[in-house]
Structures are given as structure tokens and as C-alpha cells.
Amino acid sequence: MALLKPCSTSAGFTATPDPPQRIDMGRLKQALTADGYAVVVDAKIILIVRKAIPAGTLVETSLYDNGKVLVKTTDRAAAEAAYAELQPRLDQAAR
């Protein structure tokens, strides 16, 4: 379980898994593309993806191989919705 909190260095919200987990980035990328996420960057240790959440807001998210997530929006509700949609995929890709 991770708690979303405002990022201290950018306009967004971060989530850090507790307990820590390693992510199989190939498996995560495959699951996200199958679910309609657009992959913006695949740097093997980080995936940057975009998808519109149910409210219609396009949200960009950075997903790291150490399980950390940066949801790039200043709207807490949008960040929570985006993270809630990503959480099951992160759990499935955890090693």
C-alpha cells in the first residue's frame, strides 16, 4: 500500500510502496499498453505513460522500477483516480 503525497520537487503527487517492491517493467508496460495507456518514454527503469482518467483529464505518470510513482497533476482527485487505476497493474508486475 502506498500513500499519495504532494511531490516536493515538481507539480504532482508521489506514491512510495510500503513495503518496498521491485517492478518487472516489461510486464508493466505490456499490461498498461493493453489497458489503453500511451507510452511516452520507456527507459527500462522508468516508464512515462499518459491516459485520460474517467473525469476526462489527461494525466501523465512516471513509474519507476523501485515501485515509486509520480502522478503529474496538481489536482488531488485526479491523482488519486489515476493512481487507483494503476495500483492493480503495479501489484501484478511486482517481483
Domain of 20? 2-93
pLDDT tens digits along 11-69:
899 998 888 889 999 999 999 999 999 999 999 999 999 999 877 789 999 999 999 99
8 vs 2 pLDDT, higher one: 8
85 vs 18 pLDDT, higher one: 85
pLDDT at 15: 92
pLDDT at 89: 94
Count of domains for the chain: 1
Nearest to 2 by CA among 13, 14, 18: 18
Amino acid at 75: D
Q: What CATH number does the domain containing 13 carry?
A: 3.30.310
Are the C-beta atoms of 42 and 63 separated by less than 8 Å?
no
Rounded to whole angstroms, how far apart are CA atoms 64 and 55? 25
